[in-house]
Amino acid sequence: MGRLFAGTQWDRPPRCERCGALESECTCPPAEPPAPERIDPARQTARIRVEKRPKGKSVTTVRGLDPTGNDLTALAAQLKTAIGGGGTVKDDGTIEIQGSHLDRVESLLASIGYKTKRG
């Protein structure tokens, strides 16, 4: 009785796509991941508003930015550093900055090149 995958591509040991050597013997450096595509800030509108949280806390939120076309973590870090406050990026792509900083966040995003809209 023969092997199930005898003579097929799954029967042969895997080879490197770049040099053709067996994967176990390949010395090629690992391939770099492709750079993510970024959307120009001038083509996006950030929706900014202040929300009240339980116990009277205020949070400035930034919504409407595409999570795959922007580095939201870096943008949030830039906003937090400029304002001197804390914040986070939620799973839905919302940036939250602690406190009521509507005017400052709006001017910072406009200086980066984003269109802004309140509400």
- Pairwise pLDDT comparison (49 vs 18), residue with the higher score: 49
Q: Which residue has the tokens 């509400």?
A: 119
Q: For residue range 52-95, what is the model confidence (pLDDT) as tens digits? A: 999 999 999 999 999 989 999 999 999 999 999 999 999 999 99
Residues in the chain: 119
pLDDT at 4 over 80: no
Q: For residue range 30-41, what is the model confidence (pLDDT) as tens digits? A: 888 888 888 999
Residue 101, pLDDT score: 95
Select 41-118's CATH number: 1.10.760.10, 3.30.780.10, 1.10.3720.10, 3.30.360.10.
3.30.780.10
Residue 77, pLDDT score: 97
- d(CA 27, CA 60) in angstroms, rounded, equals 50
Do residues 45 and 115 lie in contact, with contact meaning Cβ atoms separated by under 8 Å? yes
The gap from C-alpha 21 to its chain's centroid, in whole angstroms, comes to 36
Q: Which residue has the tokens 């001017």?
A: 107
Domain extent listing, the chain: 41-118
